[in-house]
Structure 1
Amino acid sequence: MTPTNAAGSSGADPTHLDPRTVEAYFLLGAQAAFPLHTDPQIVMRILPQQEEIELLTPAAGPDPDVTALERLDFSRIVIDGGEWFRLAVSARDMHYEAYVLMESVVDQMKGGAAFRNAVSDAVHSFKDLLAGRRGLTDEAARGLLGELLVLEHAIDALGEAPAIEAWLGPLAEEHDFAFEGFDAEVKTTKSESRTHLIGSETQLEPEPDRPLYLVSIQLTRAGLAEQGFSLAEVVARTRARLDQTLRAFDAALQGLGWRSADADLYRTRFQLRSTPRAYLVDEAFPAITSGRLDQVVPQRANVVSVSYRVNVTDLDPAVIPAPLDDFCEVPA
């Protein structure tokens, strides 16, 4: 069974379809398949139910790289024992534009271009159509990874419900965690020194009568190391530990900009460069806070945003209470 016969050929001339004809095929609601070329064999299918247009051609050469594109999906499939490339474009709200994109791929293949090159050139020409998938920034992804490592440990120590309740990072509160006896601000870096970005003057300002600890996590690339982990892997294994709080966890991730559909964007695997350390944020800690700025900055109200980096490498780490006492290094 060829791809054309499997879909049910329409019998229309597929050389070029005008916008009205393309729209008519989507309105019909039934799949329509068009053989477009014989050497190499190329079949286009309009899939109204999925709001997609797809191209099928026998697999030859390297795969195209469309991972970071929102509307394109590529896979290899088996038809009659042979391997085929399948390229699909989401045509929702832009049926004809999606058709023209696929037509561009076909035209270049007819001219002798390899499938990968044809897709690459078409993508470049239609970059406004194909909105890039925007994952978290590297800084935000590392920050979330560090928080999840702490959350995993808290789940093991406290159980899922108390751990999820203590995790305040997704709620845009001043500190990432509020445990029973203290608050914790988690900072994660890839640098050899424990240098961390502090995003505001309130981030390292303790609440009244609440000890605040900065938890410093250092990561390094893991390569193929068995103990390595990617952000996607940590999200997946954290979800696997949850039952009654799974919905709250997923909502929290979504609020932080994580989308499960983008998990494949987070391929970099890390491992701990060192054991995490905790630092008590007290009067001697080098923090820029609202209270300190109020004392020294003239017309303080006009300073509307503060961010800075602090290097805690040479500071003395502190003993942090449970449940993070065995997550962080115990000072000598």
Structure 2
Amino acid sequence: MAYFEIDDQAIDPFAVSQVIDVIPVHTTIGDSAEVVRTAKVTCREPRLDDVFIAFMDDVVEQLGTADAVSILVESAASWRNLLRIARFGLSDSAAMGLFGELKFLESLFDAHGPLAVDFWQREPQSVHDFIGDAVRVEVKSSTFQNQQAVQIHGLRQLEIPVDADLVLAVADIEKHGGGQTLDNLVDSLLDRGADMATLTAKLKGAGFVRGMSADDSSPSFAIRGWRFWEINAQSPVLNSSAVGTEITDAVTNLQYSLNLAALGESVSQFDWHRFTTSADH
């Protein structure tokens, strides 16, 4: 739990996604006998203590920019959806998809070190998962039970950039394959030097916060291999170029299943240095 001095600021008790409670209380702080008015912040579920700590870190970072009550209320609003997800956990498919992206990021570390994090989700609204100087990569995850197809979201996900190559990277993943949880993988990236603030912000953008998969019931995954395809104008995919701008702007929430066999033979190796090397066009 945590306490924030609020003096005479008005605040009513409230809860955030049935995970965190905030209530005004009078208490003493430290060795002082003086009773002060505070906002008491507690976590309802011990298994989400790491998530609670991340929430508290976000609040503490903002102290000094506004009064404590305003910061708590605004942080609660921005974290509400994420805390709801934390309470129930990511779906297996969402967790597996994020695992594939983080394993790709882990491989990027071998070539680029901690700067590799900058290539992932370069902007909050980036269409492609990884963006480099000469290549963009869309990462998909498949299970051993369904290696034939992947789900494509929208008409822009496989749109070929005008200034870079586009690669579709498919991670073949086995669930409970004696592998890692998402938290294990994130901790590994941090141990290798990933900037905590940058990685945490990008994970939040992906709907994940450290501690969400820390309990024993969380799924673990293992990569069994990678398959890579270069996507070009001849690739049999549905994208903006195929249907035109008018249809692209008119169609929303489009999702389709792409038969990977239609793309031809894949390759199992990728040149990780392409992210900082000018491509020949």
TM range (shorter): 0.5 to 0.7
**If the length of structure 1 is used for normalisation, what is the TM-score?**
0.54
What SS does the aligned partner of 1:275 have? strand
SS at match of 1:159: helix
The answer (yes or no) to whether the contact 1:194–1:216 under 8 Å persists in 2 is: no
**Take 1:197 and 1:157, find their aligned partners in 2: how far apart are those partners?**
29
Q: CA RMSD in A?
A: 3.4
CA contact (8 A) 1:188 1:218 kept: yes
> What residue is the counterpart of 1:165 in the other structure?
118
Matches within 5 A, 1:67-216: 71-73=44-46, 133-161=87-115, 163-168=116-121, 171-190=124-143, 191-216=145-170
Gaps of 5+ in 1: 1-25, 31-47, 53-69, 75-130, 326-332
Matches of 1:180 and 1:319 in 2, distance apart? Answer: 22
CA deviation digits over 1:82-138, x for unaligned, max 9? Answer: xxxxxxxxxxxxxxxxxxxxxxxxxxxxxxxxxxxxxxxxxxxxxxxxx78132233
- Whether the 8 Å CA contact 1:170–1:252 is kept in 2: the answer is no
Report whether the alignment pairs 1:276 with 2:274: no
Hey, what's the Cα distance between the residues in 2 that align with 1:212 and 1:149? 19
Query: Structure 2 CA distance, aligned partners of 1:282 and 1:27?
Result: 62
**C-alpha spacing 1:318/1:219, structure 2 compared with 1 (3 Å):** closer
Residue 290 (1) aligns with residue 244 (2) = no
Please say if 1:317 is aligned against 2:243. Answer: no
Q: Secondary structure of 1:173's match?
A: coil
For 1:249, the equivalent position in structure 2 comes to 199
1:238 corresponds to which of 189, 193, 212: 189
Residue 171 to residue 194, structure 1, CA distance change in 2 (3 Å): farther
Q: Secondary structure at the match of 1:276?
A: strand
Q: Which has the larger radius of gyration?
A: 1
Instruction: Tell whether the 8 Å contact from 1:232 to 1:267 is kept in structure 2 after alignment.
Output: no
Offset of residue 253 of structure 1 = 0.9
SS of residue matched to 2:272:
coil
1:310 partner letter: L
The C-alpha deviation readout for 1:249-284, integer Å capped at 9, x for no partner, is: 111111221122423267211222x42010111133
TM-score, structure 2 as length reference: 0.62
How far has the Cα of 1:319 moved from its partner?
A: 7.2
SS at match of 1:310: strand
Find 1:29's aligned residue among 9, 27, 35: 27
Count of residues paired in the alignment:
206
Give the share of equivalent positions with the same residue, in percent: 24
Deviation at 1:200, TM superposition (A): 0.9
The residue type paired with residue 280 of structure 1 is E
How big is the shift at 1:308? 0.5
Which structure is higher in strand share? 2
Tell me whether 1:229 sits opposite 2:183 in the alignment. no
Check the 8 A contact 2:171/2:226 in 1, yes or no: yes
SS at match of 1:233: helix
Partner AA of 2:44 in structure 1: R
